[in-house]
Structures are given as structure tokens and as C-alpha cells.
Structure 1
Amino acid sequence: MELKVTTLDGKAAGSIQLADDVFGLEVRQDILHRMVRYQQLKAMAGTHDVKHRSEGSRTGKKFVKQKGSGGARHGDRKAPQFRGGGRAFGPTPRSHAIDLPKKVRALALKHALSSKAKSGSLIVVDSVSQKEAKTAGLLATFGKLAWTNALIIDGAAVDQNFALSARNIPHIDVLPVQGINVVSILKRDKLVLTKAALEALEARFA
């Protein structure tokens, strides 16, 4: 697959050949769904907690005789049916993460890249380096390029001036190539890759 390369000024900068085994796959929604669920569950804090019967601050003394009271047989006031008692079967801190094979995770990333390429939402730029960190100037550039909702992936290190300029622009995400992930790709309308990011991705899947 051949794709045109542009600059941030909107000028042509040649073309580049994309690997069909990375950007030309027939998209499978089931694999993307599994990966999105894997990422979302892994990101959950799992810190929800309630006090159980053993953690209450009330007395542990038996408050009514076992027999002869005319009522039910009870132990202490920390039982769940009493006001101030412990919660029955309440949540405790735990990990929500599920397992997903490494090969499936890699395949899901390929399918996410292929989905952007197939829909025409994949853009390759020569570079995103900036001479100075000016948000207003970069916002005007994005307006000319119609990048209103985009994920921009740079090489191993994102240009500092570009990162500073783009961090306050809504609906624009900037990541180094190591941070590329399926959820971030699917979240934004356009995927913008620099030539350095493209080379790193193809080397990763080689």
C-alpha cells in the first residue's frame, strides 16, 4: 500500500510504501473488542472497599440470650442485618485485569492500524518538530489540515516544543511510538504517524 507523505505546512513530501501485513489486514472487530476490554479492565483501579463483619468497630459481645428471648438467635451487633453492622458480600480491593496472549495483543494493534488505513484516516507526515512552543500557531496549522480530532504518534521521543504546543489543544493526543495502543487509536478520528514512528512500527512487527 502506497501513501502520500505531507508536511505540517500541507505540502507534499513524497510517498511511502506501507507493509500490507501491518496496514492491509481485513479488520476483525472481535479482536479489537477483546483488546479494548483488556485495556479498560487493566486500567481499572480496583480500590473499591467496604467494611465487613470482622472490620466493624462495634462490640463483639453476644447481646441477647440464645434461648428464652422470644426472638431470633443472634451473636453480636456487627451482623449485616443491624444498623452499623458489616456489609454482606461487599466489594474488596482486587485486580480486574484479564489475560490476553501477547500474539493477540500484537494482532489487535495491526488491525487497529489497518482500520485507519482502510477508512482513509491514516496520515503520514515527514516530521512534527517545531522551532518554538506556540499553541496558537499549532492550532492554526491543525485547522488548515482539518486535524480537529487526532492521535499523533512521533518517534522514540516526541519533539518537546511540539508536545508543549499540543498539550492544551482539545481532542488532540500526542504519544511516542512506544505508547501507541488500540484504545487511543480507536478513540480519535485520525491517526497521524511521523516517518520515524512508521519505521519503528514496521521494525517492531518485522
Structure 2
Amino acid sequence: MPKVNVYNMLGNVVEEIELSEDVFGVEVNQHVVWEVVKNQLANRRQGTQSTKTRAEVRGGGRKPWRQKGTGRARQGSTRSPQWKGGGVVFAPKPRDYSYSVPKKVKRLALKSVLTSKVQSNEIIVVDEIKFDSPKTKEMANLLTKLNADKKALIVMGEKDANVIKSANNIPNVATALVNTINVYDILKYNSFIITKDAVRKVEEVYA
């Protein structure tokens, strides 16, 4: 079983814990991870792009010149795609880009990225994260003491408004709960900071 150190809010090691082999020690499947990330990004697309085809552009009803005898190429409308002000060929229209991925694939991808964080030493387990009130400075100091990268994801076992508000004003730092973590966000942030109780909940849910 993989083992990691547990830090306190002062940045000191207080203990060492074993992580579940079924969640943090699986074989990393890069193709499955790619498939799930592609799915997440596709589902986030608004799909509201829209341009006009030659049938929708205003004007161009009259043939610009006669068919033969002018020496120029034949033209039927000034709103054909090759004309300035003409329509767009294969114009993009509003559409839904979302599609579904099997739950087993999502679960395997999540386990793969969690394992990769352990293997690359980018996971930081903290015994607890608590603030008496929202303090951005205290959160910044905590990240410094934990030697966290500038891009950090903080995962909590339970929602804590003080922690969330303390992290909101720090660029490239985000918070999440065990039931809201996803493959893309874990990969996006270099440091994966997670509380000890959140680790046990992750193991309970995904093992």
C-alpha cells in the first residue's frame, strides 16, 4: 500500500498513513483519463455559435450579370460564399456537444489520476484545515508552509465556508468536496491538497 505523510497547518509532519491500494495504487490508464477529460470539456461547451448560410444572408436575390457573353465567371447571387458579404459554407449552428461516458470508465479514470498524484508526489494530506474566520492571508500562509504549487486544489470532507472564502481570492487555487472532485480539475492543479477525513471518504466511495 502507498504511504504518505500527514501534515498539520504549520507544515510539520504529524504522522504517516497508508492509502488504499484500490484507489491510490491502481495501474494508470492514460487512454481512459483522456477519454473522460475529453468528455468533461465537451459537456462544458455551450454550443451557442451561429453564423448565416447563403440562404440566411440578406440580399442577393438578383443575378449580378447575365449568364453568358460577359467574359466573367457565371454568378447566381452576390451572397454566395465567395463574395464579400456572402454566406458561410457549412455554417456552424447551435448544437449540443454533450455525451455520456460509462460510470465504470469515469471511476477508473478518477482512480488513475489519484494514483498519478501519489506517484508524482503531488498529493499533500493535511490532518485538518480550519479557520476561525475567512482570511485570505492565512490560506496563503498555509499553502506556503505546505510547499504547495501556485496551482492547488483543496479537497475537504465537509463544506467549510471559511476555508472556501479564504481560498476564493487566491489565483489558481480552488476548493472541492469529495463528491465534486473530477478528473479534469485534479489534472489541472499541480498540488492536490486533501484533508485526512476526505481521504477516508474517497476510499469509502471509490474503493
**TM > 0.5 between the two?**
yes
- The residue correspondences of 1:167-178 to structure 2 (distance < 5 A) are 167-178=168-179
State the match for 2:184 in structure 1: 183
Q: In the aligned structure 2, how far is the partner of 1:63 from the partner of 1:166?
A: 63
State the match for 1:146 in structure 2: 147
SS across alignment from 1:120: coil
Give, in angstroms, the shift of residue 71 of structure 1.
Answer: 5.4
State the match for 2:58 in structure 1: 57
Cα deviations by residue, 1:80-129 (Å, 9 ceiling, x for unpaired) = 23322211123222233354322111100000000011222222212212
Equivalent position amino acid for 1:38 in 2:
N
Equivalent position amino acid for 1:34 in 2:
E
Q: Is the 8 A contact 1:125 1:192 kept in 2?
A: yes
Cα deviations by residue, 1:8-50 (Å, 9 ceiling, x for unpaired) = 1224444433210110012222222222222222223332221
State the match for 1:122 in structure 2: 123
Which segments of 5 or more consecutive residues in structure 1 lack a partner in the other structure?
A: none
Q: In the aligned structure 2, how far is the partner of 1:12 from the partner of 1:146?
A: 13
Q: Is the 8 A contact 1:148 1:171 kept in 2?
A: no
SS across alignment from 1:179: coil
- The residue correspondences of 1:88-99 to structure 2 (distance < 5 A) are 88-99=89-100
Q: In the aligned structure 2, how far is the partner of 1:170 from the partner of 1:63?
A: 57
Q: In the aligned structure 1, how far is the partner of 2:69 from the partner of 2:120?
A: 77
Q: In the aligned structure 1, how far is the partner of 2:64 from the partner of 2:142?
A: 74
**Greater CA drift, 147-156 or 19-28:** 147-156
When residues 57 and 63 of structure 1 are mapped into structure 2, their CA distance, relative to the original with a 3 A threshold, is: same
Q: In the aligned structure 1, how far is the partner of 2:67 from the partner of 2:158?
A: 71
**Greater CA drift, 175-184 or 42-51:** 42-51
Q: In the aligned structure 1, how far is the partner of 2:147 from the partner of 2:203?
A: 27
- The residue correspondences of 1:80-91 to structure 2 (distance < 5 A) are 80-91=81-92
Give, in angstroms, the shift of residue 78 of structure 1.
Answer: 2.5
State the match for 1:10 in structure 2: 11
- The residue correspondences of 1:38-53 to structure 2 (distance < 5 A) are 38-53=39-54
Q: In the aligned structure 1, how far is the partner of 2:81 from the partner of 2:139?
A: 59
Give, in angstroms, the shift of residue 153 of structure 1.
Answer: 0.5
Which segments of 5 or more consecutive residues in structure 2 lack a partner in the other structure?
A: none
Q: TM-score, normalised by structure 2?
A: 0.85
Q: In the aligned structure 2, how far is the partner of 1:6 from the partner of 1:82?
A: 66
Q: In the aligned structure 1, how far is the partner of 2:186 from the partner of 2:124?
A: 13
Equivalent position amino acid for 1:25 in 2:
V
Q: TM-score, normalised by structure 1?
A: 0.85
Q: Is the 8 A contact 1:3 1:18 kept in 2?
A: yes
Cα deviations by residue, 1:40-85 (Å, 9 ceiling, x for unpaired) = 2222333222111121111534455556766555443332233222
Runs of 4+ in 1 over 6 A off after TM superposition: 67-70
Equivalent position amino acid for 1:78 in 2:
R
Aligned residues: CA RMSD: 2.4
